[in-house]
Amino acid sequence: MRQGVPIGVLVYGFGAIGQAIAAATLQKRCLRLVGVVDKAPGLAGKPVAEFVAGAPAQLRISPCAGAVANQGQVQVAVHATGSRLHVVAAQYEELLGHGLDVISTCEEACFPVGSEAEAVVSQLDRMCREKGTRLLGTGVNPGFAMDFWPLIASAAATSLSAISVRRVLDAGQRREALQRKVGAGLTEQEFLEGLAAGTLGHVGLANSAHMLAAGLGCSVVALSESCRPVIAQQELRTAYLVIPPGRVAGLEQELQAELSSGLKLSLSLLMAVGASPTYDEIQLTQPARQTRIVVDGGFHGDQTTAALVVNTILPLRRLPPGYYRMIDLPAFGCAP
């Protein structure tokens, strides 16, 4: 950012997360919302202010990134369309091809796991270097709550034998898409079928484990992951669903890993309608003591993701072109 000139931001994907990012962008003096792109037929041409209070009156949703990027006002595209890297990679290439830096909420983009993801990221990294652009994956989880946050907390210890991270979220307070993603309202059999088909469950625990390990200077040598339904004991209601007793209220997903340093890692995520109390917790096991850090109420998923996206723009743009992870960024905080 040139002194006193805000960075032009394009929001690519205008669902609940995209709208939260647009609202967060409007709160920053260092940023300027100059474009919104969503290919949904019913959105094209609509005023952005219809969805996000305070947006410029003349700003309208476009179905085409090129039409906005070619105006020359955009430097950064913030991307919020999907969780799977192989699905969104072509969208990254489109945005990078316009000479834009890209910050994405795609969970799998936070840290590549497996040869296929590594190959995709390697190709994107080459494209970034050719185009003089940057790509970063971030979000509340992965990207912060179960990897970046415990990594920073671990710097206060001289020796660790275990790190445990637990998140408890009331899915009933979140958007409909997330409630559906955790299986709320399904029978137990429908939940198990959706889990087997890959349509249910949180994407990103393994990515968090590998990113945390890399930040600690080691690697994952053994990993196991499990997911079970949480069954409603009484009728539960949300703005979108009525869940009878005996139906699925959400899920509990767990990951256990051993790192090459010998450290044991445990990641636990409970997302269910009516879950209470809600919190985010880290436990650091040291030889002579155990440190417990708790955020009462927990990190709000959509708001925290939006904050991370806008607050990483300045530190990312200080780096040379390439693909980056959260652990690669210089220290940063809440941007002005």
Cα(51)–Cα(191) distance, rounded to whole angstroms?
33
Cα(174)–Cα(163) distance, rounded to whole angstroms?
28
The answer to whether residues 99 and 238 belong to one domain is no
Nearest to 271 by CA among 146, 178, 139: 178
Q: What is the CATH number of the domain that holds 225?
A: 3.30.360
The answer to whether residues 41 and 18 belong to one domain is yes
Number of Cβ within 10 Å of residue 99's Cβ equals 14
Q: What is the CATH number of the domain that holds 53?
A: 3.40.50.720
Q: 240-275 burial string, b = 16+ CB within 10 Å, else e? A: ebebeeebbbbbbbbbbbebeeebebebbbbbbbbb
Return the H-helix or E-strand segment holding 12: strand 7-12
Return the H-helix or E-strand segment holding 94: helix 85-97
The answer to whether residues 288 and 188 belong to one domain is yes
- What tokens were used for 105? 């909420």
pLDDT of residue 10: 97
Query: Are the C-beta atoms of residues 319 and 333 closer than 8 Å to each other?
Result: no
Instruction: Specify if 20 maps to a domain.
Output: yes
Instruction: Specify if 335 maps to a domain.
Output: no
Cα(333)–Cα(312) distance, rounded to whole angstroms?
8
The answer to whether residues 92 and 177 belong to one domain is no
Tell me which amino acid residue 208 is: S
The answer to whether residues 156 and 92 belong to one domain is no
The answer to whether residues 169 and 280 belong to one domain is yes
Cβ partners under 8 Å of residue 320, min gap 6: none
Cα(185)–Cα(171) distance, rounded to whole angstroms?
12
Cα(299)–Cα(223) distance, rounded to whole angstroms?
26
Where do runs of H (alpha helix) occur along 182-336?
Answer: 188-197, 205-215, 301-311, 313-317
> Interior CA angle at 244 toward 242 and 249, to 5°?
75
Instruction: Specify if 97 maps to a domain.
Output: yes
Q: Looking at the 3D structure of the chain, how many domains does it have?
A: 2
The answer to whether residues 281 and 166 belong to one domain is yes
The answer to whether residues 255 and 201 belong to one domain is yes
Residues composing the chain? 336
Going from the C-alpha of 35 to that of each of 11, 40, 92, 288, the distances in angstroms are 6, 15, 16, 53
pLDDT in tens, the chain (336 residues): 556 789 999 999 999 999 999 999 999 999 999 999 999 988 989 999 999 999 999 999 999 999 888 888 999 999 999 989 999 999 999 999 999 999 999 999 999 999 999 999 999 999 999 999 999 999 999 999 999 999 999 999 999 999 999 999 999 998 898 899 999 999 999 999 999 998 998 889 999 999 999 999 999 999 999 999 999 999 999 999 999 999 999 999 999 999 999 999 999 999 999 999 999 999 999 998 999 999 999 998 899 999 999 999 999 999 999 999 999 999 999 999
Instruction: Specify if 1 maps to a domain.
Output: no
Cα(231)–Cα(250) distance, rounded to whole angstroms?
7
The answer to whether residues 152 and 263 belong to one domain is yes
> What phi and psi, each to the nearest 5 degrees, are found at residue 267?
-120, 125
The answer to whether residues 167 and 49 belong to one domain is no
pLDDT of residue 1: 53
The answer to whether residues 21 and 89 belong to one domain is yes
- What tokens were used for 164? 């445990």
User: What does DSSP assign to residue 59?
Assistant: -
Instruction: Specify if 45 maps to a domain.
Output: yes
pLDDT of residue 86: 92
Complete edge-to-edge strand list for the sheet that includes strand 279-285: 220-231, 248-259, 264-272, 162-170, 279-285, 290-296
Identify the domain containing residue 76 by its residue range.
7-139+303-328
The answer to whether residues 278 and 200 belong to one domain is yes
